[in-house]
Amino acid sequence: MDTDSLRLFVLAADKLNISAAGRQLGLAPAVASARLAKLEHALGADLLHRSTRKVSLSQEGAAFLPYAREMIAQEEEGLAALGKGDTSPKGTLRFTAPSTFAQTYIAPLLPKFLACYPGITLDMRLSDRVFDLIEGSFDLAIRNSALEDTSLKGRKLADDHRILCAAPSYLGRRGTPQTPDDLASHDLIAFTDQEVKPLRHQDGTMARFDPQQARSRLTIDDGTSHKIATISGAGIAFCALWCVHEELRSGALVRVLPDYDIADGSVLWLIYPKSTTVSAKVRVFMDFLIAEIGTDPIWERGLSLPK
């Protein structure tokens, strides 16, 4: 299959503009349209819907897009293995991450990364919503959870300690829990995830925290808003250490049940589809994030954590 046509299709799908995709590859609009039509004829499927006003991806095109990216990546990696072609990392890297983490730790690093790799373009989707990597044609994602999906592979970015915390104003008003059972009488600022959490004491003994047993009058699906409400005294929150370490150091938040952490196996993972060849652009971005963020994470420094 003609990989030049595949590149044109991938660009057209990303830009939703055939003429712009063609210009990026040095093709006149008529030539780009004819080449895409030839690819669709060879595949026996309409990959793009065209009208005088817009271009959109067809259902067949959406299904084929990840495989087109994979074929291009495989060709580039094969040429690189032979020392041929342009072996420098290049292309568009589609990346998704939780918005609060990305705003705090990744966005400030982007100018440095782009300066190091001028051939790479980043297309980022930053949201606390979890996107499907394969359906969304993402090359890479950050997930803060145990890696359970067998269709995905990953590299560890950093530990993701979870703790319970609250504002001094809330604890002054409602009292400080002394045991996990005391949480049931307190207000909880909840995420939509209401699963039972295992609590691990520093001596290794285990307890359980069932969010549904606490009073959850406030459910927030955005990490930044969740933290702001906690600082304002709305209740006790279940937070990632990377999100609240500065507030813990300043005293704006204090740990609740400080001898415990949430032992749910959560780790910050850089994940990618298992079937995908790890292209140079993905590999260098993972290496960059691990070196800049995951090596001696700032949120772990100087804080006493249960082991």
Instruction: Give the domain ranges of the chain.
Output: 1-87, 162-262
**Cα torsion at 144, 149, 151, 153 (round to 10°)?**
40
* 1-87: CATH architecture: Orthogonal Bundle (1.10)
pLDDT score for 129: 75
Q: Which two tokens stand for residue 80?
A: 């690189």
**Helix pair 29-43, 3-15: axis angle to 10 deg:** 110
For the chain, state the CA radius of gyration.
Answer: 24
Q: What confidence score (pLDDT) does residue 150 get?
A: 55
pLDDT tens for the chain, residues 1 to 307: 788 899 999 999 988 999 999 998 899 999 999 999 999 999 999 999 988 788 898 999 988 988 888 788 777 777 766 666 656 788 888 899 999 999 999 999 999 999 999 989 999 988 877 777 766 778 899 988 665 655 568 899 998 888 999 999 999 999 999 999 999 889 999 876 677 888 989 888 998 888 777 777 888 888 899 999 999 999 999 899 999 999 999 999 999 999 988 888 788 999 887 765 677 888 899 999 999 998 889 888 766 655 4
- What is the CB neighbour count within 10 angstroms for residue 221? 13
- Prediction pTM value: 0.72
pLDDT for 110 equals: 96
Locate the DSSP E strands across 168-234: 187-190, 197-201, 206-209, 215-219
CATH architecture assignment, domain 162-262:
3-Layer(aba) Sandwich (3.40)
Element (H, E) at 19: helix 18-24
- Would you state the pLDDT for residue 248? 94
Nearest to 258 by CA among 187, 183, 165: 165
